[in-house]
Structure 1
Amino acid sequence: MRRSATPPDAHTFACVVRACADCSRHDAVRVVHGVVVCSGASSHPVVGSALVSGYARLGLVEDAAHVFDGLCEPDLVLWNAMMSGYGYHGMWHGGLELFSAMRRSGERPDGYSMVSLVSCFSDPEALAFARAVHGVCVKGGYNSGHYVRSALVTMYMRCRCMESAQLLFRNLPDADLVTWSSLITGLLQDGEYIKSFDLFRQMCYTGKRPDSILIASVLSTCASTAAIGCTRETHCYAVRHGAHMDTRVLFSLLDAYAKCGFSELGYLVFRQFPHKNSVMYNTVISNLGSHGFAIKAIEVLDEMVHDKLRPDSATFSALLAACCHVGLLDEGWKLFRRMTDEFLIMATIEHYVYMVRLLATCGQLREAYDLIQTMPMQPDCGVWGALLWGCCVHRDSSLGRMVAEKLTESNPDKAAYRIMLSNLYASQEMWWDAHEVRAELSKDDLHKNTGISRVTE
C-alpha cells in the first residue's frame, strides 16, 4: 500500500497498530511507530490513541507514556487510553497522577475514565486510595453506570476487601459474567470455598453461562478440598453449558476426581474426550496408579499406543509408580524392559528408583542391589534410599549397613540414614550396634529434627 498511489492514512496506521498489539508483536508495533513518525501522522489523535493503547496492552507502559507526552492536546479518549495502560498492570500511582493531571488540564472525566482509574487498584496496601476513588465515583455520579459498579466490585476483590465487594455486588441487580467471575474467583483466593461455590451455583441458576476458565477454577478448589459433591455438581454445569469438552475443564475434572478418591470417574470423563494427547494419557495413568488401579493404568498405556501416541519417560514413571503402590513386580519388569526395548526410552534415575523400590517391596533386596550395579549412571541418594528403606522393612541389617555407609559417604551431614540404620538394628535387638550408630551421631554433632504435633478442635 505504501508503494502504491494510495498511501495509508491515520486510520490505516491505527488498524495496523491494533493488529500488531493483538498478536503480541512488540517489535512490529515499534516498526509501525517508526513509519508513523516518518509519515508525519504521529500527532493525529486516532494514531496516538492506538499507539498508547497498543504499547500499554503489551506491557510497554513507558513507551505509551512517551507517546502520550508527545501529544499537544490529548482528548478524553487519549487520556482514558493512557489511564487504561496503567490499569492493565495495576500501576495505581501512575493512574492517580494521570487522573489529577487530566482534571488540572480542564478535561472532565467520564464513566470510562473512572473504570480505567478503578482498574489500576489491585494492591491491598492501596485500599485507602481505592476507597477515595470510590468516593469520587459516588460524588460525581459515575457509580450509577453498570460498568463502573462492576469495576468497583472487581477493585475491592483485588484489594482483598471482600466485604465491600460483596456489599456492592448485592446492590448490583444486573451483574455481568465478568463481575460474577471476579467475585467468585476472589472468594476462592480468600479461602471462602463454601461462599464461592454457593455464588457459583447462584450464578448458574440465574441463567448466566460460566466460561471454561471459571469452571476450571471452581474445579481446582473442589480438588484442593476433596469435595466430591461439588465436583459432580460443577461437572453437571460444565456439561449443561458445553464446557466439559474444553481442555482446561477436562484437566481440572481429572484432577478433582482423582484428589477426591474417584480416579475411575476421571477415567470415564477422559474416555469421552474426542482428541486426546500424551499429556492427558499421562495424567490419567498417574491418577489411576496413585489410587491402586495399576492394571487399569497399564491398559490405558495400550489404549495410548492404539491411538498412535508415543509414550514418553513420564508415562513409564507413572506406570512404575503404579506398580510400586500394589507390588506388581512381574508387570514392573515387563514395563521397564518394554520402555527400553520397544520404545527406545533411556531409563532415568527416577525409573531406577521405582524399580529398586518395587524389588525392595517384594523382598528381593539382593536383586535390587544388583540392578543398582548395572545402572549406566551414578546412583544417587534416591536409589540407595529406596534400597535402605527395603532393608528396614525386611530387616536385612548386613545389606542395610553397607547401603547406609554409601549414603553417609555422599551425604555426611544428613542424619536420617544413620537413624534408619539405628532403628533397623533396634528392630532386631542388636542394641550394641544401635547404640554405636547413635554415638556416632552425637560425636558428629548430628541430630534428628524434633517432631512437632498439634491437635486442633
Structure 2
Amino acid sequence: MRRSRSSAATATAPDAHTFACVLRACADCSRPDVARVVNGIVVCVGMSSHPVVGSALVSAYAKLGPVGDARRVFDGLPEPDLVLWNCMMSGYGYRGMWNDGLDLFSAMRKAGERPDGYSMVSLVSSFWNHEARAFGQAIHGMCIKGGYDSGHHVRSALVSMYFRCGCMDSGHSLFGNLLDADLVTWSSLITGLLHICKYEESFGLFRQMCNSGRRPDSILVASLLSACASMVNISYSKEIHCYAFRVGAHTDIRVSSSLMDAYAKCGFADLAYGVFFQMPDKNLVMYNTVISNLGSHGFAMKAIEVLDEMVSDKLKPDSATFSALLAACCHAGLLEEGWKLFRRMRDEFNMAVKTEHYVYIVRLLATFGQLKEAYGLIQTMPVPADSGVWGALLWGCCVHRDSSLGRIVADKLFELYPDKASYRVMLSNLYASQEMWWDAEEVREELWNEDVHKNTGISWVGNARK
C-alpha cells in the first residue's frame, strides 16, 4: 500500500494489476476502510469495469465482510467469468447466507456458466444449520452426478457441511469412505465436530490424525485450543501446548493467542502469561489480552507492569487497554492505582475518556464509600451518563446504605429505563435495609401498578467436560 501511494505521487499511473495487488493486501490485513478508498479511486479513474480489478474488488469485499458491496461491484461487471461467480458465492459462504448463495448459483447456471468443484465448495460452505440440511444434501447429489466429489476439497467441504448441519452419521460415513484423507479433510471433520460441541470426539480424531502421520496446521491447533477454553479443560490445553511446542507451532500468533485464552479460562493466568512472555513479536491485541487475563484473576499490579512493558515496546495503549486495567483495579480493590491510570489515560496518552472508563472509576469510588466524589465525577462527564455509570453508583449506595443519594440516582435510572424493574428492586432493598418500610412498600407498589417484573435469577451447575 505504501508503494501504491508513492506510485500515485509520481507520474506513474497505477494499472489494473496494481489495484488488484493493493486490494489483496487490504483483504490480508483486514482493512475494509482502505478497500473502500481504493474502490473510490478505481471508479474515479474509470477502471471499475476492468475484469482484473472487478475480480479483486469482489474478492476483497467478500473476505472482509461487506457482502453487499461485493454484490454491488459484481452486478456492475458486464460479463463475469466463473472465477468471479465463485468469488461472490464464497462471500455468501463465509457468512452462511445460503439463500443468497443458492440464488446466485441458479443465476450462474441460467447465464450459461458451468460450475466447477470450487463452485460447489463455495455453495456447500454456506450451509450452517439444520434448516439448510435438505439443500446441502441436494447439492451433494449434484456433486455426485457431476463428478465433482472426486476432488479432496469438495469432499472435505461436504464432510464439514454435514457436521455443521448436525448429520453426524452422514459426515462419518462420507469420511470413512475416503481412501486417503488429506489434511483438509481431517481438519473439516474435526472442526465440524467442534462446531457441534463434540469435543471429546474431536480430540480423539486429532490424536488419530497425528498418529497417521498428518501434521495439523496452526489454524486447526488454534481451533482445538478454543475448544479447550470452552470445555475449561486444563489437561487438554497442556496436551495441545506440548504438541504445538514439539512441532514448532507455538510461535504462531494464532496458536499463542488461543493458548493464552485457554489457560486463562481454565484459571491459570500464570501459564497464560508464560505463553505471552515467550512470544517473540507482541502486538497491541496480545498485550490487551494478557492484561485482561491477569486482571480478571486478581493480578492487577502485574497487569499494570505489563502496561509499562507495552510502553517500553513502543506500543501505544488504546481504550481497551485502560478498560482492562481499570476493571483489574475494580476486581482487586485498588483505588489509588485506578485513579493514577485514569489520570495517565488523559494526561500522558492524551486519550478521550469513554463512558466505560467512567463506569469502572465510579465503581471503584463507590466500593470505598466515596459516593459524593463519585457523584461529583459523574457531573463533570462530557457526555450524559448512561445506565452503567448510574447503576455503579446505585450499587455503591446500596452497599453503604445511603438512601438519600440512592433515591437521586435511582430517579436518574428511572428516567433512562422506566421499564427496567431491577433498579426499583435495588431501591426497595436499600430502603428495607434501613427499615424504611413505608418507602420500600411504595416502590414495590409502583412495580405492581406499572406491571413491571424482574426475572428471577437462576444458576446452572454441571460437568464442564460434557
TM-score normalised over the length of structure 2: 0.74
Please state how far the C-alpha of 1:271 moved relative to its aligned partner. 0.7
User: Which residue, out of 120, 123, 128, partners 1:120?
Assistant: 123
Does the C-alpha gap of structure 1 residues 95 and 339 become closer, same or farther in structure 2, counting only changes over 3 Å? closer
Pair 1:66 & 2:87 matched:
no
The one-letter code matched in structure 2 to 1:423 is N
**Aligned-partner residue type, residue 450 of structure 1:** N
> What CA deviation, in whole Å up to 9, does each residue of 1:261-297 have, x standing for no partner?
1122111111111121222111111111011111111
Paired residue secondary structure (1:175): coil
C-alpha contact (below 8 Å) 1:146/1:174 kept by paired residues: no
1:32-181 map, 5 Å? 66=79, 88=90, 91-92=101-102, 113=116, 116-117=119-120, 120-121=123-124, 122-123=126-127, 124=132, 125-133=134-142, 135-136=144-145, 149-150=155-156, 152-154=158-160, 156-157=162-163, 160-181=166-187
* SS of 1:132 mapped into structure 2: helix
| Amino acid in structure 1 at the alignment position of 2:79 | H
Larger radius of gyration: 1
Q: How do 1:290-305 residues align onto structure 2 when only pairs under 5 Å count?
A: 290-305=296-311
CA gap of 1:173–1:277, structure 2 versus 1, over 3 A, is: same
Determine the structure 1 residue equivalent to 2:315.
Answer: 309
Q: CA separation in 1, counterparts of 2:106 and 2:359?
A: 57
1:273 is the counterpart of 2:279:
yes
How many Å separate the matches in 1 of 2:288 and 2:448?
46
1:174-209 C-alpha deviation (Å, 9 max, x unpaired)? 211111111111111122122122212222232222
Cα drift, residue 379 of structure 1: 2.7
Are 2:453 and 1:448 equivalent residues in the alignment?
A: yes
Contact 1:87–1:119 under 8 Å retained in 2: yes
Matched position secondary structure for 1:393: helix
Which residue does the alignment assign to 2:97? Answer: none
Letter in 2 for 1:120: L
Gaps of at least 5 residues in structure 2 are 1-14, 28-37, 61-69, 94-100
Instruction: Report the counterpart of residue 224 of structure 2 in structure 1.
Output: 218
**Could you tell which deviates more after superposition, 50-59 or 166-175?**
50-59
| C-alpha distance in 2 between matches for 1:324 and 1:232 | 31
What residue identity is the alignment partner of 1:406? K
Unaligned runs of 5+ in 1: 1-12, 37-49, 69-77
Counterpart of 1:286, as a letter, is S
Deviation, 1:33, is 7.3
Give the percent of matched residue pairs that are identical in Structure 1 and Structure 2: 57
Describe the superposition over 1:13-44 as per-residue Cα deviations: whole angstroms up to 9, x where unpaired: 9999997996679869x94976x9xxxxxxxx
2:394–2:410 Cα contact (<8 Å) kept? yes
Amino acid at match of 2:407: R
Give the Cα separation in 1 of the matches to 2:255 and 2:278.
13
Q: How far did 1:246 drift?
A: 1.9
Query: How does the TM-score come out when normalised to structure 1?
Result: 0.76
Contact 2:164/2:192 (8 A) holds in 1: yes
Question: What is aligned with 1:341?
Answer: 347
Q: Aligned runs of 1:240-255 on 2, under 5 Å?
A: 240-255=246-261
Would the alpha carbon gap of residues 453 and 135 (structure 1) be closer, same or farther in structure 2, given more than 3 Å must change?
A: same
**RMSD in angstroms over aligned alpha carbons?**
3.8
> What number of residue pairs does the alignment pair up?
409
Q: Is the 8 A contact 1:384 1:403 kept in 2?
A: yes
Equivalent residue number for residue 12 of structure 2: none
CA shift in 2, pair 1:155/1:366, >3 Å: closer
1:312-356: per-residue Cα shift (whole Å, max 9, x none)?
A: 222222111111112111211222222223223232222221111
> Aligned match of 1:237 in 226, 240, 243?
243
Classify the secondary structure of the residue corresponding to 1:303. Answer: helix
CA distance, structure 1, for counterparts of residue 111 and residue 344 of structure 2:
70
Q: Does the residue aligned with 2:123 lie in a helix, a strand or coil?
A: coil
Measure, in 1, the Cα distance between the counterparts of 2:347 and 2:19. 54
Preserved CA contact (<8 Å) 1:51 1:64 = no
SS at the partner of 2:276?
helix
Q: Distance in 2 between matches of 1:383 and 1:100?
A: 57
In the other structure, the counterpart of 1:386 is 392
- 2:34 alignment counterpart: none
Q: Deviations over 1:117-174 (max 9, x none)?
A: 466334333134134336536xx7x867766654543454465433212122123232
Partners in 2 of 1:198 and 1:417 — Cα distance? 49
C-alpha distance in 2, partners of 1:311/1:241?
33
- Go from structure 1 to structure 2 and tell me whether the alpha carbon gap of 1:53 and 1:14 turns closer, same or farther (over 3 Å shift): same
1:323 alignment partner in structure 2: 329
Are residues 96 and 404 of structure 1, via their aligned partners in 2, closer, same or farther at CA, if it must alter by over 3 Å? closer
